[in-house]
Structure 1
Amino acid sequence: MSDIISIERLTDVLTGAFEGGSGYWLKKVDLKTGANLPDTDENFYASPAFWAHPFEIVLTTIEGTEHVLTKESIDRGLRLLQEKDPDDVEVILAGEEDGNTSDRLLQFAAFGEIVYG
């Protein structure tokens, strides 16, 4: 997917965004297409294996607008994060991201910019 961070780090960062960091604007996360992994108790996005396959995730904001997350949009989000705040990327690579860092990556991936916060 990305040559910036590993799938394992991406999994941790996006799980952090879905389960907390973006909770103030993210109302719902739905898998539209992709490899749902029903044999696990984890949410589909919490498995690195999920991110290895094509997918579409529908993100619904608190306003009710929907945005589709794909491999391409995540790659774009990572490039934007690296361009706008390379320190955030270093924090992610070190495994020291917080909810704010996770949220920024998700917003860049979903919107191409920081819309909330």
Structure 2
Amino acid sequence: MPEKKFEVLAQIRAALTQQDIDDIMVSALEGGINYWCRRVVVQGNYLGEYASEQISRGGKLAVWLDEPFEDDKTCYMLDRDKFLAGFKLWLEKGGDSYDAIDYSDGSVDCGQIDATCADEIVQYALFGELVFG
């Protein structure tokens, strides 16, 4: 007789600060997504000093791909809502392999989120899955 299995759903709480989002975007823009992203363009006025500060302040970035993707699309818009959804998917898919989340208070240690992790977060945000890599 096969052993019975009992499934448990555990929720993870993460509390990202504005600085956390900026730090993750720096990692993404300065190395994480460069192998599949042709360029990133700030939409509208800069809301911070750098493009990496746009998302946390409610702005948008146009992310251009090297090659067309679904339906020959080459440009995807990234905003804070998409970023947060991508971060959530990244956590749910087991992306936090370096224990960046402190489970006692939900704080995020961005020192444990490298360029590869930042790349995955942005891919989840833009495509809902890992497409490149």
Per the shorter chain, which TM-score range?
A: 0.7 to 0.9
The aligned residue for residue 63 of structure 1 is 67
- Give me the TM-score of the superposition, normalised by structure 1: 0.78
Question: What's the Cα RMSD here?
Answer: 2.2
Higher helix share: 1
- Contact 2:86–2:125, Cα closer than 8 Å, also in 1: yes
Query: What fraction of aligned residue pairs are identical, expressed as a percent?
Result: 25
- Give me the TM-score of the superposition, normalised by structure 2: 0.70
**Gaps in structure 2 of 5+ consecutive residues:** 1-13, 69-73, 102-107
Matches within 5 A, 1:8-47: 8-37=19-48, 40=49, 43-45=50-52, 47=53
Of structures 1 and 2, the larger Rg is shown by 2
1:5 aligned counterpart, secondary structure:
coil
The aligned residue for residue 103 of structure 1 is 119
2:87 to 61, 75, 78: 78
State yes or no: 1:114 paired with 2:114.
no
The amino acid that maps onto 2:66 is I
Q: Residues 4 and 84 (structure 1 numbering): CA distance in 2 closer, same or farther, change over 3 Å?
A: farther
The amino acid that maps onto 1:58 is A
**Gaps in structure 1 of 5+ consecutive residues:** none
CA distance in 2, matches of 1:9, 1:85: 19
Report the alpha carbon displacement of residue 34 of structure 1 after superposing the two structures with TM: 4.9
Q: Residues 23 and 55 (structure 1 numbering): CA distance in 2 closer, same or farther, change over 3 Å?
A: same
